Structure 1
Amino acid sequence: MNSKQLKWVLLIGLALIWGSSFILIKRGLVGLTPMQLGSLRILFAAIFLLLIGFKSVFKIPKSQWKYIALTSLFGTFIPAYLFAIAQTEIDSSVSSILNSLTPLNTLVLGTLAFGLQFKRNQIFGVVIGLIGSALLILNGAIHNPQQNYYYAILIIIASICYATNVNLVKKHLSNLSPLSITTGNFLVLLFPALLVLLSTPFFDTIHLESVQHAVLFIMLLGVVGTGIANIIFFKTIQISSPVFATSVTYLIPIVAFFWGMLDNEMLTPVQFLGAFIILIGVYLSAKK
C-alpha cells in the first residue's frame, strides 16, 4: 500500500476510534465518577505508551520538559476530566460536535497569543462556527430540559485546551518526535492521575460488577482511543500533512452521531442545522 492510500486508511481508522471515544465515556460513567474515569483513562494510556516508548523520553532535552509539562496539562489532563464531567449532563453526540470547535480555537489562540497570521475567510469561519455552537446549545437546552446544557461550556473549554496544546507543540516542540512528546506527556501525568484516583473511593467499589465493566470500557478508551490513536494521528501527519490529518474533525461527529443513535440519542432538526453550521465554520477557518 502506497502512502497516498495509507493516509486515507489511517484517517478513516482515526475517525472511527476518536468518534467512538464519546460513547465509551458514556459507558464508563455508568460505574465510575468523572474523576475516576479521567484518571483511569490517563493511567491506562500512560502504561501503554511507557511500555512502547519509554526510551524515547531520553531524547527530550532538559530545557523542553517545561513545555512537555504544559502540553500534558492542556492536551490531556484537563480535557480528560472536563469531557467526563460534561457527559454526565449532555449527550455524547453533542459533546463530539462541540469538540469540532478545536480548529477554530486553534486559529483564534494562534492569532492572539502566538503571532500567527490569518485571512478574512478564516475570521468568517470563526464567527459562523460560534453561531452554530450557540444554535446547537440553546436549542438542545430548550428540547432537553432534563439535561443541564451549561455543562456544554466544559467541552468548549476543553477544545480551547486542545487548541493551546497544538500551538505550544507547534512553537516549542516541533523538533521532537511524536512518540517522545506523547510518551513524555503521559510520564508527567502518571503520578498526578494516580493521586486523583486515590482521592476517590475507587478501590472500595472495584468489586462491583458495574465498576468492573466500566473499567473495561475506559481501558479500551485509554489504550486505543488515546495511546494508539495518538500514534496513528502523528503517523498520518508524517505521511501527509497537518491539514489533511486534522480533517478528521469533520468525520468524528458523524461516527459519534451513529453511536448516539444506537444508544437512543437524537438531535433535533435545529441541532442538526447547528452542527452543519459549525462544520462550515471549521472548513472556512482551515481553508487557505
Structure 2
Amino acid sequence: MNRWLTYFLVFFVMVLWGLNVVMLKLLVTSFPPVTMTALRIFVAGFVVLLVLLLLKTFRQLTATEWKYVILAAIFGVLGHHFFLSIGLTMTSASNAVLILALLPLTTSLLAILLLGDMLTRWRGFGIFLGLIGVCTIVLFGEGGLAGIRTGDGVIFLAMMIQALSFVYIKKATDTLDAKQVTGMMLLIGSLLLFVTSFIIEPNGLASMGDKALWIWWVFVISAVFATGLGHIIYNQAIHQLGTGETAIFNNLVPFFGLLFSALFLGEAIALAQIAGLLFIVAGVILGTGHVDAWMQKRKRRFDQVG
C-alpha cells in the first residue's frame, strides 16, 4: 500500500473514532446500553474475522495464546465496553473523549510498572503533563470539583481497564497476528457481554426492534466501519509505518471527538477542556516515548555521520 494512502486511511480512521464517541452517546441513549454494546462488538468481531478468513491468515491458537486472548477479551471488551456504555449514559461525550485521550499515557505507565519499560526523564515529564491536563479539566471545568459527574469516574475506570488489557494484548501479539487477536477478543468479549446483558437487561434484545431506521445506520457505521474495519486499517498501518508513527495519529481522536460533540450533540466546549486537551496531547507525545525514540534516532544518525 502507498505510504501516503496509508496516512490518509489512518487519518480517516481517527476521524471515525472521534465521531464514534458521539455515535456511542446516541446509541446508549436509544438502546439498552449493555445489550446494544454486545451486539455492536459482535458485529465488529464478525467483520474482522471475515476479513481474516478471506485473506486466509487465520490459524489455530496454542493454549498460551488462548489464555492471553481470553484475558484480553475480559478486560479489553467485557470490562472496558461495559463501563464505557454505562458511563456514557451519565456524562457528556466531550468529557468522555477527553478522559479516553489518557489511554496512551496510562498504557505507557502500566508498561513501566508491569512490563519493565524504562521510565526516562521525558516520559516522566509527559506523565506529569497528562496529570496537569486532567486537573485542569476537573478543577476549572464546568462547576469545578462539584461539577464532576459519576459518569466521568466510570469512563475513567473503562479507560484504565482497557489500558490493562493492552498488557495481555501485547503478550498475545508476540506470537499471533494482531488482526486475529482483535477479531477473536471482540467475538469472545461480545459473548461475555451478552451473558451480562441477559442478567441486567433481560428484555434488552426484545426492546431494540422498535427504533427508527437512522439510529440503526448509526449502529452499522459504529460497528462495521469505526470498530471493525477501523481496527484492521490501524493494525495494517502499524505493520507498514511502525507503532510509534501510527500512535501519533491517536492524538487527533480527542480533537475530532470534541468537534463532533459540539456539532452533533450541541455540547458546549469549555476553555478548560481545550487547555486540558493540549496538556494531555503534549503528555501523550512525551510520555509514550516518542521524543525518546526521536532523540535516539537522531543520535544514531549523528554517530554515523561522525
Q: TM-score, normalised by structure 2?
A: 0.85
Q: Which residue of 1 aligns with 2:16?
A: 17
Q: 1:143 to 1:218 in 2, by over 3 A?
A: farther
Aligned positions of 1:1-288 closer than 5 A: 2-3=2-3, 5-54=4-53, 56-142=57-143, 149-199=149-199, 200=201, 201-210=203-212, 213-262=214-263, 263-286=265-288, 287-288=291-292
SS in structure 2 of the partner of residue 126 of structure 1 = helix
SS in structure 2 of the partner of residue 209 of structure 1 = coil
SS in structure 2 of the partner of residue 58 of structure 1 = coil
Q: Unaligned 5+ residue runs, structure 2?
A: 293-306
Give the residue type in structure 1 aligned to 2:106.
N
Give the superposition deviation at 1:165: 2.6
Q: How many residues align?
A: 285
Once residues 284 and 19 of structure 1 are traced to their aligned partners in structure 2, the CA distance between those partners, rounded to angstroms, is 22
Once residues 46 and 196 of structure 1 are traced to their aligned partners in structure 2, the CA distance between those partners, rounded to angstroms, is 18
1:33-71 CA-partner distances (Å, limit 9, x unpaired): 321232122122123233333565533223210000111
Q: Which residue of 1 aligns with 2:295?
A: none
| Structure number, greater radius of gyration | 2
1:137-172 CA-partner distances (Å, limit 9, x unpaired): 333351797x75232122222222232232323234
Once residues 281 and 134 of structure 1 are traced to their aligned partners in structure 2, the CA distance between those partners, rounded to angstroms, is 13
Give the superposition deviation at 1:179: 2.1
Q: TM-score, normalised by structure 1?
A: 0.90
Once residues 204 and 172 of structure 1 are traced to their aligned partners in structure 2, the CA distance between those partners, rounded to angstroms, is 36
Asked whether the 8 Å contact 2:262–2:269 carries over to 1, the reply is: no
Give the residue type in structure 2 aligned to 1:251.
L
Asked whether the 8 Å contact 1:14–1:229 carries over to 2, the reply is: yes
Give the superposition deviation at 1:229: 1.0
| Segment drifting more, 95-104 vs 195-204 | 195-204
Give the residue type in structure 1 aligned to 2:154.
L
Q: CA RMSD in A?
A: 2.2
1:179-202 CA-partner distances (Å, limit 9, x unpaired): 221122123224223323434212
